[in-house]
Structure 1
Amino acid sequence: MMIDKVNYVSPVNNLQSTKRSNNVANSQRTSDEISVSEEAKAAAEAMYLKQVSDETPDIRQDLVEEIKLKIQDPNFFSDATIAATADRILSAYGL
């Protein structure tokens, strides 16, 4: 026994009646583009800065150790060092 049609529809006829469009030249070619808002750019930068701050230690032990060694040196607190420190503090405040 041979079944020619399923539910009275021939699948081969459906494929044969499909029309193809070879007219690609008439279709409009458009380019894709994306625009990012300033708010989104600021949010991305904030996310990046948060990631960097999370990965950076709060205390830089190498600098702490260096300063501890300088303070232990009896010659560190000379008049020249104190004057230089005072000048740097004043210049930081614009004075």
Structure 2
Amino acid sequence: MTIGRIDSIDPIPPGKKPGQGSQVNEASQTDSISISSEAVEKAEMLRVMEMVNTAPDVRTDRVEELRAKINDPSYINDKVLDATADKIFDALFG
């Protein structure tokens, strides 16, 4: 059996050290992404759904405002009573 050359198959070029790869100038390369309009709409919908799911069922600020109006004697008049009756009628009978 005869052994030929002792050199490696892939010799290292002169001026390069083993383990030294090509250096990339990080400032010259930039990454970019683009988000489709469908993805933007979906993200907005998910954000709104999260707000709806975390919002309280009863708006206490509105309840307090209405309580104050009802307790005010000048608020209850025929115009308010008629409007309230109309809204109740519409809600029940469409």
**Normalised by the size of structure 2, how large is the TM-score?**
0.49
